[in-house]
């Protein structure tokens, strides 16, 4: 029977198992929202920096293709996260209007969308760049959707610490796409985002502790209290400073990056020290943390363009 | 023609889409078509870049 046949008829009201099938209300924008475009933009940016500062050379068209795959893979992870978390999204003010809790997209549609994008992005990245980058992308999607979303998020207050690794992989994937390997510099870029994630998310969690409590998500402010969360935010902000400066210290980045990482890191520590509760200071830290990561990676890119040859020369001389 | 199809669907006990559902279905169909078209172009360009001039040198 042809798929285009008029005899194919409309959808039945009731499926074989008795479930009522409603026609989809999803608009194109809902599927875009499933991919968490704001998270995706940060993923694409950090992956772009990893790809451009890597010593290997990738044809610009292939580089664009690799970035597209990383973006789609990140979107797939976002869709799978929304598929599984639809129940808790519905009770949190920040997420209640997402496509699934709002009733515009069914969970099945989100699952199918996520799995299709995940499979496609990994396979195409393997063909466009290399299979190490594709393997890292597959692991990242698995880590975010399964290890973080399904396993850790509802079980431990360390959910975003361990789960933060998923957000830290993109520059490493970009690096692997360009070089076919993983260098020490890529590991430092991973470490920067890994250590940046806890103060970033816990600042938000301090402001939204009530939401997380209602949803039954054991975020640190909910299970350990405000004071312990503030203490850990400060510890991670302190640890982040030397990790961010390290690429300059080992000669992989130039003085512009080194100065920026030191100054921006010191401001991050100072803002972390001002946080007392879920008030204005926590919101300031959350906003600044986004700016911090963007500026750090942007300056790394500029620094690479300005001092790339210098850094390479210094390495050769050393 | 749409009205006739709707009448047929009602007769078969099927789902009749509302105007809003039809509009969204059409938007999804157009988006899928555009994505598929972009993918065709993407794979074509990637293939040429990966294989280079060799893509035209095939044994007869």
In this predicted complex, what is the ipTM?
0.79
Considering the domain boundaries, does residue A316 fall inside one? no
Range of the domain at A85: 26-181
A174 shares its domain with A187:
no
A27/B12 touch (CB, cutoff 8 Å), yes or no: no
- Contact list in A for residue B4 (CB cut-off 8 A) is none
Beta bridge partners of A160: none
**What pLDDT is attached to residue A317?**
44
Q: Please say whether the beta carbons of A90 and A217 come within 8 A.
A: no
Neighbours of A24 (CB within 10 A): 18
A155 shares its domain with A223:
no
Considering the domain boundaries, does residue B40 fall inside one? yes
Structural domain total, chain B: 1
**What pLDDT is attached to residue A45?**
97
Q: How many helices (H) and strands (E) in chain A?
A: 14, 0
A253 shares its domain with A283:
yes
Task: Quote the CA–CA distance of A244 and A265 in Å, as a whole number.
Answer: 8
> Mean pLDDT of all residues in chain B?
81
Task: Give the closest of B13, B42, B50 to A13, CB-based.
Answer: B13
Per-residue pLDDT at B47 exceeds 60: yes
- Contact list in A for residue B7 (CB cut-off 8 A) is none
A62/B5 touch (CB, cutoff 8 Å), yes or no: no
Q: What is the DSSP letter of A181?
A: S
A139 shares its domain with A151:
yes
Task: Quote the CA–CA distance of A315 and B3 in Å, as a whole number.
Answer: 74
Q: Using alpha carbons only, give the angle A253, A257, A259 rounded to the nearest 5 degrees.
A: 125
A142 shares its domain with A35:
yes
Of A12 and B59, more confident: B59
Q: Exposed, middle or buried by CB within 10 Å (0-12, 13-18, 19+), for B58?
A: exposed
Task: Quote the CA–CA distance of A81 and A114 in Å, as a whole number.
Answer: 9
Which of A153, A181, A209 is the endpoint of a domain?
A181
**What pLDDT is attached to residue B4?**
62
Each of the 318 residues of chain A gets a pLDDT tens digit; together they read 333 334 444 444 555 666 666 777 888 999 999 999 999 999 999 999 999 999 978 899 999 999 999 999 999 999 999 999 999 999 998 899 999 999 999 999 999 999 999 999 999 999 999 999 999 999 999 999 999 999 999 999 999 999 999 999 999 999 999 999 998 899 999 999 999 999 999 999 999 999 999 999 999 999 999 999 999 999 999 999 999 999 999 988 999 999 999 999 999 999 999 999 878 999 999 999 999 999 999 999 999 988 874 445 445 444
B10 touching A (Cβ < 8 Å): no
A61 touching B (Cβ < 8 Å): yes
A218 shares its domain with A132:
no
**What pLDDT is attached to residue A318?**
42
Q: What is the DSSP letter of A10?
A: -
How many alpha carbons fall within 13 Å on the CB side of residue A297?
A: 26
- Contact list in A for residue B49 (CB cut-off 8 A) is 59, 61-62
Task: Give the closest of B15, B24, B28 to A10, CB-based.
Answer: B15
- Contact list in B for residue A7 (CB cut-off 8 A) is none
A172 shares its domain with A212:
no
Considering the domain boundaries, does residue A20 fall inside one? no
- B56/chain A closest Cα distance in angstroms: 19
Range of the domain at B22: 18-52
Considering the domain boundaries, does residue A13 fall inside one? no
B50 touching A (Cβ < 8 Å): yes
Considering the domain boundaries, does residue A14 fall inside one? no
Which of A181, A211, A244 is the endpoint of a domain?
A181
Beta bridge partners of A14: A20
- Kindly tell me the sign of the dihedral angle through the C-alpha atoms of B42, B47, B50, B54: negative
A117 shares its domain with A165:
yes
Q: What share of chain B is helix, strand, coil (3-state, %, to 5)?
A: 80, 0, 20
**What pLDDT is attached to residue A156?**
95
Task: Give the closest of B9, B24, B28 to A10, CB-based.
Answer: B9
B15/A13 touch (CB, cutoff 8 Å), yes or no: yes
Beta bridge partners of B14: A12
**Region of poorest pLDDT, from A147-161, B20-34, B44-58:** B44-58
A39 shares its domain with A50:
yes
Task: Give the closest of B5, B17, B49 to A23, CB-based.
Answer: B17
Task: Quote the CA–CA distance of A218 and A209 in Å, as a whole number.
Answer: 10
Structural domain total, chain A: 2
- B28/chain A closest Cα distance in angstroms: 6
Task: Give the three-class secondary structure for A9.
Answer: coil
B40 touching A (Cβ < 8 Å): no
Task: Give the three-class secondary structure for A170.
Answer: helix
**What pLDDT is attached to residue B18?**
85
Which of A181, A215, A246 is the endpoint of a domain?
A181
- A111/chain B closest Cα distance in angstroms: 17
Task: Quote the CA–CA distance of A190 and A167 in Å, as a whole number.
Answer: 9
Task: Quote the CA–CA distance of A118 and A102 in Å, as a whole number.
Answer: 24
Name the residue in chain A with its Cα closest to that of B16: A10
A146 shares its domain with A254:
no
Closest to A296 measured CA to CA, from A52, A46, A54: A46
Q: Exposed, middle or buried by CB within 10 Å (0-12, 13-18, 19+), for A1?
A: exposed
C-alpha distances (whole Å) from A10 to each of A13, A16, A20, A115 are: 9, 15, 14, 26
Considering the domain boundaries, does residue B34 fall inside one? yes
Size of interface A-B (CB pairs under 8 A): 54
A123 touching B (Cβ < 8 Å): no
Considering the domain boundaries, does residue A3 fall inside one? no
Q: Please say whether the beta carbons of A306 and A256 come within 8 A.
A: yes
Q: What is the CA radius of gyration of chain A?
A: 22
């Amino acid at each position: 029977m042809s798929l285009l046949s008029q005899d194919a008829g409309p959808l039945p009201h009731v499926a074989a198992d008795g479930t009522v099938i409603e026609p989809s209300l999803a608009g194109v924008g809902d599927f875009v929202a499933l991919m968490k475009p704001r998270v995706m933009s940060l993923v694409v940016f950090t992956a772009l920096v990893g790809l451009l500062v890597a010593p290997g050379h990738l044809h610009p068209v292939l580089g664009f293709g690799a970035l597209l795959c990383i973006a789609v893979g990140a979107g797939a992870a976002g869709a799978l996260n929304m598929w599984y978390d639809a129940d808790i999204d519905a009770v949190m003010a920040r997420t209640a209007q997402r496509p699934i809790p709002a009733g515009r997209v069914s969970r099945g549609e989100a699952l199918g969308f996520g799995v299709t994008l995940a499979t496609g992005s990994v396979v195409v990245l393997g063909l466009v760049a290399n299979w190490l980058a594709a393997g890292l992308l597959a692991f990242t999607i698995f880590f975010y959707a399964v290890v973080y979303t399904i396993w850790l998020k509802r079980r431990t207050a360390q959910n975003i610490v361990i789960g933060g690794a998923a957000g830290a992989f993109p520059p490493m994937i970009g690096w692997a796409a360009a070089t076919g390997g993983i260098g020490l510099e890529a590991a430092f870029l991973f470490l920067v985002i890994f250590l940046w994630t806890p103060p970033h998310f816990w600042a938000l969690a301090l402001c939204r502790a009530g939401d997380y409590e209602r949803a039954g998500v054991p975020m640190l402010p909910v299970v350990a209290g405000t004071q312990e969360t503030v203490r850990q935010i400060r510890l991670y902000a302190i640890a982040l400073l030397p990790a961010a400066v390290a690429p300059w210290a080992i000669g992989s980045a130039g003085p512009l990056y080194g100065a920026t990482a030191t100054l921006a890191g010191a401001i991050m520590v100072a803002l972390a020290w001002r946080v007392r509760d879920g008030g204005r200071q926590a919101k300031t830290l959350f906003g600044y943390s986004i700016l911090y990561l963007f500026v750090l990676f942007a300056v790394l890119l500029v620094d690479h363009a300005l001092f790339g040859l210098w850094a390479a020369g210094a390495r050769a001389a050393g | 023609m749409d009205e006739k199809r709707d009448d047929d669907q009602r007769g078969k006990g099927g789902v009749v889409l509302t105007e809003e559902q039809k509009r969204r279905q059409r938007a999804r169909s157009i988006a899928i078509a555009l994505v598929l078209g972009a993918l065709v172009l993407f794979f074509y360009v990637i293939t040429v870049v990966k294989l280079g001039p060799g893509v035209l040198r095939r044994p007869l």
